[in-house]
Amino acid sequence: MIKITALCKVKEDCREAFLATAKILVDASRAEAGCISYGLYEDADDCAELIFIEEWASDEAIEEHCDSEHFQTAIPLLSDCCSEAMELRICKPLI
């Protein structure tokens, strides 16, 4: 199992556009065979910081996800709504 987090610092005037695109991405990603969970969360102390938290069955599932049409379409649109580059972390279990 692999977890991914993507921290997005969203511009105030882009929040609604970001959320609309994110909903499409989340819904389509949840339907993928290797997706265990996929959600978008808001930082409790800073509503401009939105965090995708994903759980995938394998590296192959992540690769298929990254190659998917919905991912390829959404990421540039989401990035345009961010004030900084997304901070991506890929985590594999230790214990």
Confidence band, pLDDT 50/70/90 cuts, at residue 20:
very high
Rounded Cα distance between 61 and 81, Å, is 26
Question: Which pLDDT does position 92 carry in this prediction?
Answer: 94
- The pTM of this model reads 0.92
Rounded Cα distance between 2 and 32, Å, is 15
Rounded Cα distance between 62 and 80, Å, is 23
Question: Which pLDDT does position 19 carry in this prediction?
Answer: 98
Residue ranges of alpha helices (H) inside the chain are 15-30, 59-67, 69-80
The domain spans of the chain are 2-91
Torsion of CA 51, 54, 60, 61, to 10 degrees: -120
CATH class assigned to 2-91: alpha beta
